[in-house]
Chain A
Amino acid sequence: MRKVMTGHKAVAEAMRQIEPDVVAVYPITPQSEIAEYYAEYVHDGIVHTELVPVESEHSAMSACVGAAAAGARVMTATASQGLALMVEVLYIAASMRLPIVMALANRALSGPINIHCDHSDAYLARDSGAIQIFCESAQEAYDYMLMAQRVAEHDEVRLPAIVNLDGFTLTHSSQVVEPLPDGVAKKFVGNYKPFYPLLDVDHPATWGPFAMPDYYFELKRAQAAAMEKVPAAFLEVQKHYSKISGRRYAGFVEGYKLDDAERALVVMGSTAGTAKAAVDQLRAKGEKVGLLKVWLFRPFPGKEIAAALAHVERVAVLDRALSFGAMGALYCDLAAAFVHAVHRPTFVNYIYGLGGRDTTVDQLVQVFAELKDAHPDEGLRYIGLRE
């Protein structure tokens, strides 16, 4: 049944249906309502989850690691500085192969302090070993919370997963969302069977042992192999989810009017919706423009993106965070994906929307116009910045 709800509520609904054994969470704008909704569900006896109201996000992720190693299905949610506090332990969760699923209400990192959206928090955790998915809408946030659970817990994967939803733009605005019936969602998510659960005292195991130069390298390589298993698991889960939801999820990226496009934008998150409006406006005038929206950011689907953009002549890659001293992170990944390609589009890198700065349809129409005579090696460009 279609309902009107915020992104917060959509994420909390998915969590209610997943009903993890443990949720360890600390409130932070713009994530707080996710924690609040879930605390209500626990208080009202709607879910039987051990809610751990920790004193910081470092503790939240630490409690998640302990609970997951014990054998529990575990979830959390955070934003910005909260993720920054978690990151130390997030790396450990990934190395211990613990499928902790978290919603990240994307918010700019301090300083200066700001509460609004950009992707600097997600980029901070880029190399943590967590799977990262970006969502365009509250519906996608709901859908990917359920799918992320399955991908993270896939027997060959077992890695933490972050579902990114733009702070305020998605978390606080009301949209139409169609959740699955509880029974269908619960059946889709299924039961979780942990490996070597610490609470199985008849089969003791040592978790998180010290690894010296003789084994650290091999353990990291094994972790990389788990990440390599994500794409196949992702497609398998999408296929199943599309069947039960009637919504089409097929691939690591979504093309919009891309098949015959000469110019295209590449973007992650809610700005994809703005970009679609810009594409429609220009298509109405006969311009061959399109959009590539990236769902799966880690692992980065370079091959598939290169294939999807192979016919495009000029591409603007939009990064919603600065990687100081380098081009944008998404741009760099894309450039690497094309390094062996025979045909390479002309790429331009735009930085946009830092600290919640609005990005409008008109601005993206202007980006398409600038793309007409873009040249490579022009360095970073900025959208909506006062010069």
Chain B
Amino acid sequence: MAASLKSWKELPIGGVVPGGATPELNKTGSWRAERPIWDQEKCIQCLQCWLHCPDDSIRINGQKVTGVDYDYCKGCGVCATVCPVDAIGMVPEREGTCAK
């Protein structure tokens, strides 16, 4: 086990994690089996993907989509389903971002 893991004597009572917004500390993108690929050329900036993402993984700058946050995206595919112009496609994770 890594040395950074705490001993049982150092844990807060009942496994409580003090402090808020703790999901940010736990990057869950590795759960993903399929990866959404966003096509900037096709995107009409309707923000439907950002609205529907059950995590917080569609990156925006102001009111413009800039991409997907792969640190937290779990690959559910909701964004690809709701996109009215097929600007988001799902590819198997093992193929990653490799161009075809």
Known: A97-B13, A158-B13. A218 touches B18 (CB 8 A): no
Cβ contacts B1-23/A at 8 Å (1 or 0 each) = 10001111101111111111110
Known: A218-B7, A222-B8, A222-B9. A204 touches B15 (CB 8 A): no
Chain A interface residue count: which class?
Answer: 20 to 34
For window 11-57 of chain B, which residues contact chain A by CB distance below 8 Å? Answer: 11-22
Is the Cβ of A206 less than 8 Å from the Cβ of B16?
Answer: yes
Is the Cβ of B14 less than 8 Å from the Cβ of A207?
Answer: yes
Is the Cβ of A158 less than 8 Å from the Cβ of B14?
Answer: yes
Chain B interface residue count: which class?
Answer: 10 to 19
- Decide if A324 is an interface residue (CB 8 Å cutoff): no
- Select which of A205, A214, A218, A225 is within 8 A of B16 by beta carbon: A205
Distance from B73 Cβ to chain A, minimum over Cβ atoms (Å): 19
**A97–B11 Cα gap in the complex (Å)?**
13
**A221–B5 Cα gap in the complex (Å)?**
15
- Select which of A95, A97, A203, A219 is within 8 A of B8 by beta carbon: A219
Distance from A128 Cβ to chain B, minimum over Cβ atoms (Å): 15
- Decide if A146 is an interface residue (CB 8 Å cutoff): no
**A217–B5 Cα gap in the complex (Å)?**
12
Contacts of B16 in A (CB 8 A): 96, 195-196, 205-207
Interface of A is mostly: loop
Interface of B is mostly: loop
Is the Cβ of A205 less than 8 Å from the Cβ of B17?
Answer: yes
- Select which of B11, B20, B22 is within 8 A of A222 by beta carbon: B11
Is the Cβ of B14 less than 8 Å from the Cβ of A98?
Answer: yes
Contacts of A222 in B (CB 8 A): 8-9, 11, 13
Cβ contacts A210-246/B at 8 Å (1 or 0 each) = 0100110111011001000000000000000000000
Known: A219-B8, A222-B8, A225-B8. A214 touches B1 (CB 8 A): yes
- Decide if A209 is an interface residue (CB 8 Å cutoff): yes
Is the Cβ of A203 less than 8 Å from the Cβ of B5?
Answer: no
Distance from A258 Cβ to chain B, minimum over Cβ atoms (Å): 38
- Decide if A208 is an interface residue (CB 8 Å cutoff): yes
- Select which of B12, B15, B17, B18 is within 8 A of A95 by beta carbon: B15
Contacts of B15 in A (CB 8 A): 95-96, 208-209, 211, 215, 219
Distance from B37 Cβ to chain A, minimum over Cβ atoms (Å): 29
Contacts of B21 in A (CB 8 A): 204
Contacts of A95 in B (CB 8 A): 14-15
Contacts of B19 in A (CB 8 A): 204-205
Distance from B16 Cβ to chain A, minimum over Cβ atoms (Å): 5
Contacts of B13 in A (CB 8 A): 97, 158, 195-196, 222
- Select which of B5, B11, B20 is within 8 A of A219 by beta carbon: B11
Contacts of A217 in B (CB 8 A): 8
Contacts of A204 in B (CB 8 A): 19-21
**A215–B16 Cα gap in the complex (Å)?**
12
**A339–B82 Cα gap in the complex (Å)?**
67
Is the Cβ of A218 less than 8 Å from the Cβ of B6?
Answer: yes
Is the Cβ of A196 less than 8 Å from the Cβ of B18?
Answer: yes
**A96–B16 Cα gap in the complex (Å)?**
8
Distance from B12 Cβ to chain A, minimum over Cβ atoms (Å): 8
Contacts of A215 in B (CB 8 A): 5-6, 11, 15
For window 77-136 of chain A, which residues contact chain B by CB distance below 8 Å? Answer: 95-98
Distance from B10 Cβ to chain A, minimum over Cβ atoms (Å): 9
Known: A203-B18, A218-B8, A222-B8. 4 other contacts (CB 8 A): A95-B15, A206-B22, A215-B11, A219-B11
Report 23 cross-chain contacts, Cβ distance below 8 Å, ordered by A residue: A95-B14, A96-B15, A96-B16, A97-B13, A97-B14, A158-B14, A196-B13, A204-B20, A204-B21, A205-B20, A206-B17, A206-B22, A207-B16, A209-B15, A209-B17, A214-B1, A214-B5, A215-B6, A215-B15, A217-B8, A218-B6, A218-B8, A221-B8
Which residues of chain A have a CB within 8 Å of any CB of chain B? 95-98, 158, 195-196, 203-209, 211, 214-215, 217-219, 221-222, 225
Which residues of chain B have a CB within 8 Å of any CB of chain A? 1, 5-9, 11-22
